[in-house]
Each structure stands twice: as structure tokens, then as C-alpha cells.
Amino acid sequence: MTALPLASRARRAAFVGAVCAGVVAGAASLTACGGGEDPDAGTNGVGRLTATKIQSKAARSAQAASAVRLSGTVVSKGHTYSLDMRLKGEGGTGSVTSKGQTFRLLRVGEQLFLKADSEFWTHEGAGKQPQQADAGAAAKLDGKYVKVPKGDPAYQQLSGFTDKDVLLSGMLTLHGQLAKGDRGRTGDTRTIKVLGDEGAGGTLSVALDGKPYPLRLERGGHAGTLKLTEWNTDFDLREPDQSEMVDYGKQLPTS
């Protein structure tokens, strides 16, 4: 009377064992049948590291990359800047928006250029109208690249937006004690979060697929959110033609 149930149990056990082996071999995602998924299976492995080491690896990957696109908002000293910059070692190009005014920046080596419409050059603040002479001069700059002299105070301020190493080292800093956060996705890429001071000091999402690039930064103190995309995607970077450019010499026009 007991032989049939025992045989049945043996067959069921053999069947379950075969299924378990097939799942493990095919998906490589289970540590044991019925044991739960390994969240780091098939990843680059940084999820197993401490929060400090994850941030360090992300920073090194970012610095070693040949190019990146950085976009989003930055709040600094009470001002909000919207950025969309493409950066690489030789320079960068893109747009910056602040106080309702948008201008484009282009840096090739040490040569920095700024392009904006006439309103940018005559902007005097709310309720103020530009003088006729200023309006006339600004009209000539409308849509032109203006070369920013290295001696002009604006050069250091603006060139920072086009410097990959400077911008990334400043933007990717987290403050306070670091801790690992949730796993999730940024676009189609699996990520793990690194939190500074439980998020108050910033939150960095680091890729678990491929190189451990930083993909998203929520800056501490509600100081903006940035996306980092198109890692190692090259782009054209050249100085504007003479017909596209105005060179004021040693100082930018006052605005």
C-alpha cells in the first residue's frame, strides 16, 4: 500500500529537481531553487560593495570616460540654472538658462564662445529699458558667437560649465555619511542608489549594467537634479566660422 505513494514522491522530487537545475542553468538568476533571486546576478558587481566604494568607482568611471551629456537643473546661491551640456576633454558645447535668459556656450581648447539673442545683451532687469545705443549694438550680436577673452571675469565663470572634469567633480559630491539605497532603474539601466546623509546630502544613482557610471544625481538641499547620459558618445567640436563670430578683444560688451 505504501509503494505507490513513495514512487510518486520520488518522481515528483526528480521532476522538481530537473526544473530547478534548468532554471538555474538557463537564467543564472537563482542561488538555489526556492532560495530567492540574487540581485547582483548579471550585474557589474558594484552593488556588493560599500557605499563609499560605489561612489569612488562611479567617480573614476566618470573621469575616465571620453564624453558625457549632462542635463537638468542646478540651484546655486539662490539662482536656478537649467543646463544641457555635452562635454569631453577638449571642451564642451550646450545651453544654459537662467532668469529666463538662454545662452549657448562653446569651448574648443582654451577658446570660449558665447551665443545669445539681442535681449540677452540688453537685459537690464525688470522695468528697465535699454538705451538706443545699447539696443543697436546688441542687434549686431544677435545669434552670433562672441569670443570671451581669457582676461574677462566672465571667462572663469562660464568656462566651468564646459569643463568636464571640473563640472563632474563638483556635481558628483555627496555630503554626510554615505549609505546604500534602493535598487531601481534609470531608463533601461539597472541602478543602485548611494545616499549622503540619508538623502539630505544628495542621492546618486549608479549603473549596475556595464561600467558603473553615475546616471542621475539629486543634489542635497533641493539644489537641483541632473541626468548624465551618452557616456563615451563623441560629438563634433569646432570653432565657429568667422562669419558666425564677433571678437571684442580684451573685454566683453557690458550687459
Give the length of the chain.
255
pLDDT at 111: 95
Please indicate, yes or no, if residue 227 is contained in any of the structural domains.
no
Please indicate, yes or no, if residue 236 is contained in any of the structural domains.
no
**If you average pLDDT over residues 249-255, what whole number do you get?**
57
Total number of domains in the chain:
1
Please report which confidence band the pLDDT of residue 39 belongs to, taking 50, 70 and 90 as the band edges. confident
Give the HSE-up count for residue 23: Cα atoms under 13 Å, Cβ half-sphere: 15
Please indicate, yes or no, if residue 209 is contained in any of the structural domains.
no
What's the pTM value of the predicted model, to 2 decimals? Answer: 0.78
Rounded CA Rg of the chain = 27
pLDDT at 193: 97
The percentage of residues in the chain with a pLDDT greater than 70, rounded to a whole number, is: 76
Please indicate, yes or no, if residue 181 is contained in any of the structural domains.
no
Please indicate, yes or no, if residue 159 is contained in any of the structural domains.
no
Please indicate, yes or no, if residue 12 is contained in any of the structural domains.
yes
Please indicate, yes or no, if residue 212 is contained in any of the structural domains.
no
Please indicate, yes or no, if residue 252 is contained in any of the structural domains.
no
Cβ pair 194, 92 in contact under 8 A: no
State which residues form the domain around 13: 1-37
